Amino acid sequence: MMGRIFGKHPRVYTFGELHFFGQLAAAPFSSKTHTKEIEKLATQLFCVQREGYRTHGKAHRFLSEAQAFLAGLTAYPDTSTALFEAFLYHETAENDKTIPCDQTPRNVFYIADILDLYPNARVINMIRDPRDVLLSQKRKWKRRFLGGSDMPMKETLRDWMNYHPITISHIWRTAVNAADQFAQHERVISVYFEELLAYPQKTVKCLCDFVGITYTDQMLQVPQVGSSVAEDQPQQLGINPQRAYSWQDSELSSTEIYLNQTITAILMKKHNYTPVSIKPNIASLGLHLLTFPLKLAGAFFFNLDRVKNIRETLKRRF
């Protein structure tokens, strides 16, 4: 949603989830890279951008487009860092805009790299109630039936396998911790999802000032799509305040809420999310604890194709 908001600005072009850091390219990102690897990486970027991160197919179909792009550059990029920057600005210019916006969620684990590699970059970090994140991830596999009809069945199965209240709660905690390290950095700003929904104009104006662009009312006229909780309503424009605190009237069990609040307790308090007094169902708690290793192993194997360096990815995310 934040990406769509900025994409409405006349100067900003918002990309789909590119997942450059950690999936397409591995650290160190500034090391010299062979020409063939640069060409392969460019081909993958075009494939993901053209077809979507979750639905893209065989990258070789975009080889000629990648080769033409590389041939048109003033200087051939010799690092993945240089290639990514050139690709972002190329696509942005092709869409008659000047500021690229990458809204890949996993970038939160690469903030230090981004700030170091791109001195002009600004990072907007969004924090959301961990229980709402849990609900969203629990229902994510249902996107296929809520408007994401082009979703491959493999992705639906991957989303189902990825969900476990312990896993999702740990990742939320790690992600928030990763961003909190840059709370005082002049090029990083954090905003709460709930504040954006309650005070959209005030929040977006603040973010525009931070980025260095002029706010326009058109930025708030975004379609209400992409939710894991409700069906897409592309004809409905604007910020829907009812998207906040969906977990309070949802399909999360008392055990799921209990596990989530237990794991995220310290950061919930730090970020002013109030826990509810709740007791888990003992049988359900036992089942979740028993299934956790199985779901974790399944998620690991389902996501092997999305990891460039397994050791690095596990270190950053867990």
Can you read off the two tokens belonging to residue 107? 């970038």
Cα–Cα nearest to 75, from 111, 116, 114, 35: 35
Dihedral over Cα of 46, 51, 57, 62: its sign:
negative
The gap between the terminal CA atoms of the chain, to the nearest Å, is 26
Contact 279/163 with Cβ under 8 angstroms?
A: no
Tokens (6 digits) for 122: 């600004």
Task: Name residues of the chain where pLDDT drops below 70.
Answer: 55-57, 143-151, 225-235, 308-309, 317-318
Residues 67-111 pLDDT 10s? 999 999 999 999 999 999 999 999 999 999 999 999 999 999 999
Classify strands 123-127 and 233-237 as parallel, antiparallel or unpaired: unpaired
- Cβ atoms within 10 A of the Cβ of 123, count? 19
Q: Which ranges of 245-281 does DSSP label H, i.e. alpha helix? A: 254-270
Q: What is the pLDDT of residues 130-178, one digit of tens each?
A: 999 999 899 887 755 554 456 677 777 878 788 999 999 999 999 999 9
Cα 137–chain centre separation? 12
Q: How far apart are CA 134 and CA 18, in angstroms?
A: 23
The predicted model scores a pTM of: 0.86
For the chain, give every domain's residue range. 1-121
| Tokens at 173, concatenated | 């905690």
Q: How far are the Cα atoms of 122, 221, 266, 303 from residue 307, in angstroms, in the given order?
A: 25, 35, 29, 7
DSSP tag of 106: G
The 10 Å Cβ neighbour count of residue 276 is 11
- Residue 106 contacts residue 19 (beta carbons within 8 Å): yes
Tokens of 100: 């690229």
